[in-house]
Amino acid sequence: MSQRSCLSVILAAGEGTRMKSALPKVLHQVAGLPMVAHVVKAAEAAGASGLALVIGHGADEMRKAAARFAPKAETFEQEKRLGTAHAVIAARAAISRGYDDVLVMFGDTPLIDADALTVARRRLAEGAAVVVIGFRPPNPAGYGRLIEKDGKLTAIREEKDCSEEEKKIGFCNAGMMAVAGAHALKLLDAVGNKNAKGEYYLTDIVEIASAQNLDVVATEASFESALGINNRVELAQAEAIWQQRRRYDAMLSGVTLIAPETVFFSHDTEIGADTIVEPNVWFGPGVRIASGAKIHAFSHIEGATIASNCDVGPFARLRPGADLRNKAKVGNFCEVKQAVIEDGAKVNHLTYIGDARVGAGANIGAGTITCNYDGYSKFFTDIGEGAFIGSNSSLVAPVTIGNGGYIASGSVITESVPDDALAFGRARQKTIPGKGKELRERFASAAAAKKKAAGADH
């Protein structure tokens, strides 16, 4: 089957009014990725070499999004929404190129399993002209039933048209199909619109193909894989299913999740074996973690790279561009952004490191800030190997702290510090006996006068 060419036509034109959103429905995200992008990934995993996105509502926004998650996809606009067959025909130019297999998929089924698509393609390779993907929902009410006879699919019967006996059938239409490319356009062009809604239904090709003595069969996908998303409740359900799958895979691959149900991954999270993740950790897009790391509770990580045996958190935030090298530590209530923390360096607590390099073995004291932004531009702070930055220090970028440099606590450093130098950047302390009492009395008198004046006004 690997020699067979395949086009995936993904229907993504629906307005999705039940989402109650200005955003096109299929761009709502599961695991940090638009639903339709999950469908694209499944199609590609099943061997689709061509992608055709049929768009409608929010067409410009869809094109911009598609350029990011499916740069090789063609987009076709369905200007009038006249049914599913009408939507597929919008991609006529792509279908007519003569692919062996045509997969028809829906952009609001983000959990679709590539294996289900591969099975459908295999049936095409075995000679079927149309393969309908079915599923068995816990409650089949409302779904079209798949009517089979002698191993062949003879019809898809909408529930309102089912006999009482047919309503007992639990095998239902998931909507997705695989169609032999040699027959696709002929079958689609034969679909009429003589029905109550005056629409062209893709399901009609089952009876059309059967009438032409073409083989029509059904394959089965899991209920979860075929789950379509129509509102925010179902979107949350899909997210929960996706996360459950990902946690399961992570643990089987050697990752310890102490409280799995509290850890949330993104679609592209990479996490190595022997990593330990404590409760309530959130991984945004673009996170790569090597083996043996420890991620403590309540940490928020996105766009970050964490090398082997690093220690992060609790309550740490790693923002895009954070790059922790071997055995680096970023402790509680620390934020790191667009910065390299080199081997064995420690950023232990209550600290912000942004647009910076912290050299190997350096120690960053509590309350340290790299002052990297002047309101208009960002500037770089370079902290050398083995440097010691005392607590409550402000490093005003651009600035360099040399290897082995030592910054006294409470300093504001505005000039670069040479290797092994000690730098102070604070005012000399002055103590005036009795002045504290005098100030308190003065402030109290002023406050009383202000209060008295406010009372007189009323």
What residues act catalytically? 349
Burial class (CB in 10 A: 0-12, 13-18, 19+), 224: middle
User: How many other C-beta atoms can be found within 10 angstroms of the C-beta atom of residue 404?
Assistant: 18
Place of tokens 């989402």: 19
Task: Give the number of C-alpha atoms closer than 13 A to the C-alpha of residue 354, restricted to the C-beta side.
Answer: 17
Give DSSP secondary structure letters for 328-387: -EEEET-EEEEEEE-TT-EEEES-EEEEEEE-TT-EE-TT-EEE-B-SS-B--EEE-TT-
Rounded distance, CA 285 to CA 302, Å? 6
Closest CA to 363 of 337, 338, 333, 393: 393
Largest CA distance in the chain: 105
- The single-letter DSSP state of residue 56 is B
Instruction: Give the three-state DSSP class for 257.
Output: strand
Rounded distance, CA 196 to CA 185, Å? 24
